[in-house]
Amino acid sequence: MKKIYLSIFIGLLTVVSLNAQETVHDNNKEENTFMPKNIIKVFPLNALIGEIGIGYERVIKPKTSLNFTLIQEFRKDEIFNTALSVRDYYIFFEADMRFYLSKYKKAPEGWFVSGGLLGEYNYRKYKSRINNQAVDFEWLQIGGSGKMGYQWMFKKGLKGLTIEVAGGARYRTAVNIFDKGFSDGFTPVVDFTIGYSW
């Protein structure tokens, strides 16, 4: 738990320091010479909970880009004093279009809003260690998302490094569901990514 708090603290400290740096860059026209078209990203906060997340962003117009996210998780746990084991498999895909709002910056830098589509597949298996009985749950969901955020881009010292913070909401609805306990609905989302642009 201390690692999570430390990571969040470092992330917030980075955001504050980069915001001060970004104010200086706004008035410096020379910084706009490096304008990448591609960014590959990782999700460090997701890694703390056992998920592997990668992202890719491609600029298609001066103020517009396409953004893709893929997150995968496989987990095996023993609960209830090792009397029950749980296996989870999860895969998530999202594609969204981003519109950058800054008057003085071009994509993929500055404030943005985005909207997109998503798909999610979950498989969960509970197995009793007492009588070896197993129960499986499997469900597929689709939906949409809306987010707002800010993306920083280093153009000198750490040229190519990007940092993104975004928040919003996702809506999911079941397509094919075997367990009726999972319902449709909205969930909040917070994204923090570190990437490399070229």
Query: Rounded CA gap, 16 and 14, in Å?
Result: 5
Place of tokens 């893929």: 70
Give the CA count within 13 Å in the CB-facing half-sphere of 87: 8
First to last CA, the chain: 35
Over residues 122-168, the pLDDT tens digits come to 888 888 877 878 888 888 999 999 999 999 999 888 899 999 999 99
pTM: 0.77
Give the CA count within 13 Å in the CB-facing half-sphere of 44: 15
Residue 195: per-residue pLDDT: 97
**DSSP label of 109:** S
Over residues 162-176, the pLDDT tens digits come to 999 999 999 999 886
Who contacts 70 (Cβ-Cβ below 8 Å, separation ≥6)?
Answer: 53, 54, 55, 91, 92, 93
Domains of the chain are 2-197 (2.40.160.20)
